[in-house]
Amino acid sequence: MVATRKYSKEIATRIEKLIADPLVTSTNHWTATDFLPSLLRQFTSRGSLSERQYAVLIDIEDQFTGERRLKAQQEVKVKADDDRRRRADWEQYYLSDEVQEKAKLVAQYYKQYNKKEGTSYFIGTVADIFEGKIPIEKTCRKMLTNPFALSVIREWEKVPPYPVKSFVQARKRLAMNERSSLYGVNFAFVVKVNSSIPAAVKGGKKYLIFCPGKTGTIECEERNLKPYRKNKKK
């Protein structure tokens, strides 16, 4: 049995009407932007649709007429209202001082990390934060709650074991390593805590220390320091 094809000249107009219908786009984006344009191209090229294609076209038309159209319109309205409420709740949450501080801290961490490693983690969210825009909730929450971000936040916020004016020294393996910036640092004192964004590791909090006999200050991570212990004379 040979399949029947549909050649009506009105078919192209009907497809174009559906493509232009904002309700079709808002309820089924793929249908409006992919399937229907493809159907229109086939009809324009061949001058007809297969019986199956025509049946699908009628089914789509039925979805957006009469009571089914009214139902779809109501569903779109409810979804839009829900989206507005979620957006408002997110904006209120994001704009709180606490979240703003954490967002800027983590954004700075990823900005530096991406530049150093040539990566692009959360690049859009980072850009929005530095431009003063409210980022997309899903990606921003993901950025703020992944293990690396949580480690950075934890290190930044924790009480420093070496507050300003504390006496410290480099751990032995670094104090004896000529290639280390802490080489020969057997006595120093802390001049600044949280001198820059922490490393995303335990003990990654950053300090500026001053070592008598050396020029300027040295930035180092907490894990590379220990309390100063004066050597006892034998």
Q: Measuring CA to CA, which residue among 144, 154, 148, 176 is closest to residue 222?
A: 154
pLDDT band per the 50, 70, 90 thresholds, residue 231: low
Q: What is the mean pLDDT of residues 60-77?
A: 91
Alpha-carbon gap, residue 96 to 120, rounded angstroms: 27
At CB < 8 A and 24+ separation, what contacts does 210-217 make? 211/184, 211/185, 211/187, 212/187, 212/188, 214/184, 214/185, 217/191, 217/192
Residue 188 reports pLDDT greater than 60: yes
pLDDT of the residue at 128: 97
The confidence score (pLDDT) of residue 234 equals 45
The pLDDT of residue 4 is above 70? no
Question: 110-158: per-residue pLDDT in tens?
Answer: 999 999 999 999 999 999 999 999 999 999 999 999 999 999 999 999 9
Confidence grade of residue 233 (pLDDT, cut at 50, 70, 90): low
Neighbouring C-beta atoms of residue 175, cutoff 10 Å: 16
